[in-house]
A and B are shown apart, each in its own frame.
Chain A
Amino acid sequence: MTTREPGRPRTDRSPWNWLLVVPIVLPLLTFLFNSDEPRLLGFPLFYWLQIAFIAVGVTCTTIVYRMTK
């Protein structure tokens, strides 16, 4: 992914890109998080799980960035 063969055009195509689908789809599935229990540090699930999706987003985009660099 990181190496570019001479003479071949640069491309953005990579199987790693599919990983980007995860943080796009997860936060849109309301049934996953639209609930009060279980609570974490006093936060209802609705809030802490959606905040946790930030970490999922960062992880996935970082992996794609590293693997396609």
Chain B
Amino acid sequence: MSDHVTEIVVFTALFLAVSGMGFVAARWRRPDDLLSLHEWGLGGRSFGAWITWFLIGGDLYTAYTFVAVPALLFGAGAAGFFALPYTVITYPIVFLVMIRLWSVSHVHGLVTPADFVRLRFGSPTLALLVAITGIVATMPYIALQLVGIEAVLKTMGVSGSGLLSDLPLIIAFVILAAYTYQSGLRAPALIAFVKDILIYLVILVAVVYIPARLGGWPAIFGDAQAKFAATPAPGDGVLLNANNQLQYVTLALGSALALFLYPHSVTGVLASRNRDVIKRNMSALPAYSLLLALIALLGYMAIAAGVKPIGTDVNTVVPQLFDRMFPDWFAGVAFAAVGIGALVPAAIMSIAAANLFTRNIYREYVNRDATDVQEAKVSKLVSLVVKVGAVLFILLIDPQFSIDLQLIGGVIILQTLPSVALGLFTRWFHRGGLIAGWVAGMGAGLAMLYVIENPATKHAHFGGSAFPLAKLGLDTRMTVYAGFLALIVNLVVAALATLAARALGAPDGPDGTRPDQYTADEGDPRVKDLDLSSST
């Protein structure tokens, strides 16, 4: 631990400075009253292009991304680079989708994707399924942010085993919980500025300085190639092979489709001021993808530098690389960037999960006449509960389990695509069809994930997201992203069940929206009555 004093001091100082900002954020762009979900949970729905860029960027490109994506390249090579095409294609895909969601949410005062489903399909059950899916998919994601902080703490030698060694992690999360409780979405929005500037600084220095010390890019790629050639695993290498190309493409596409279905992404979008802010951001956000590509390549730099993960935790390779390559003070800055990078998404995710609970469970099933103040109070409390849950996840359960759960999270959140994303464009689906599709997609997805084994981590089940087509009886070694297949099952069942429901004359729910509401913009008239049940 004594070798790391400078790093620990720099890390702690930056971490505390940023936490202070989190508390002050409540006064930033201060509204008359912070006690409503529009203020606490969506920052007043007033963020302009710059704030939104930092907020959504800080939200989507998480600390976990920064440690896990390079760890993937470190372990498997080219297959891990899927994160790049994934974040390139997601923006053009959602370009026209998110502006419609923003408009209809603006008109009706909607806060969550499940709110929209409730209004559009008139089905509390379907909305409940979407809300639960969102909460379940988000929880392990929050836990994973802790994995990022933990990897940094391990490298600095302040984490080990036993409860006392987890104390720094617990303190970090208590601070996070406290300022999220107080300041709501304003806290991560303000912190995101610092986080992103730190990350950009660290990565730009890293991609210039480290390759120079390792003998240049050709040497780095050469070392990576040599490493993969020496391993017995057939799937790794600096290029894709015949069997993992389909997985690469379907995983990139499936993840891209899933990204903006996550409640925390929707929260970021709905917090923006108008449609123009969203459109402009869809063309400006890919700047982060460039950063992500460079971060991913840190995995190869770690190979070239001869970094060995601490224990079996490959997530420590990037912190280890920084520790070895940078002077102590700058390694401290780099660690702080990862640590603070965890705080922004963790805060937004817990707010998003809390909003889902409040709007679609509490308001729907517990207190139908909840006032704005009551909603905000419930959300604030739930955001605490969610974070405690995430900490317990990490402390009590093997971190690997959170990583598996996050994989599952991506697969299950995709199952809300027909009702949320397609629902923005068409009312063709019957609410019963969408429920049937959700059940089928969820079942198929979980069944596929269950039978995927991973010899490397000694998992007999839930060993990854690459589903071998051989399991369907096909004579091939090709794999495909399980979430993608599950989505196809979902869509087919939803369509067939819709036709069946129409043929049987099953009653469909009322649509509480009008076509022109999907193109409404700032300044257009809004439905003043925020009560979903009476707005239809």
A residues whose Cβ falls under 8 Å from a Cβ of B? 9-12, 17, 20-24, 27-28, 30, 34-36, 39, 41-44, 46-47, 50-51, 53-54, 56-58, 60-62, 64-65, 68-69
Contact = CB atoms under 8 A, between A and B. Distances in A.
Contacts of B193: none
A10 B515 CA distance: 10
A46 B279 contact: no
Contact of A53 (B88, B220, B238): B88
Contacts of B313: none
Nearest to A59: B283
B297 A28 contact: no
B88 A36 contact: no
Contact of A23 (B88, B249, B290): B88
Q: Summarize B's interface: helix, strand, loop or mixed.
A: helix
Contacts, number: 114
B93 to A, nearest CB: 6
Contact of B283 (A9, A41, A62): A62
The list of the 4 closest CB pairs from A to B, nearest first, reads: A42-B217, A27-B85, A61-B283, A42-B218
Interface in B82-114: 84-85, 88-89, 91-93, 95-96, 99-100
B171 to A, nearest CB: 38
Interface in B286-312: 286-287, 289-290, 293, 297
A61 B98 CA distance: 14
Given A17-B96, A47-B81, A58-B286, A30 B245 contact: yes
Nearest to B297: A47
Q: How large is the interface on B (under 10, 10 to 19, 20 to 34, 35 or more residues)?
A: 35 or more
B304 to A, nearest CB: 12
18 contacts: A10-B516, A17-B95, A23-B89, A24-B89, A34-B245, A43-B217, A43-B221, A47-B81, A50-B84, A53-B84, A57-B91, A57-B92, A58-B284, A58-B286, A61-B92, A64-B95, A68-B279, A69-B276
B240 A34 contact: yes
Given A27-B85, A42-B221, A51-B84, A11 B239 contact: no
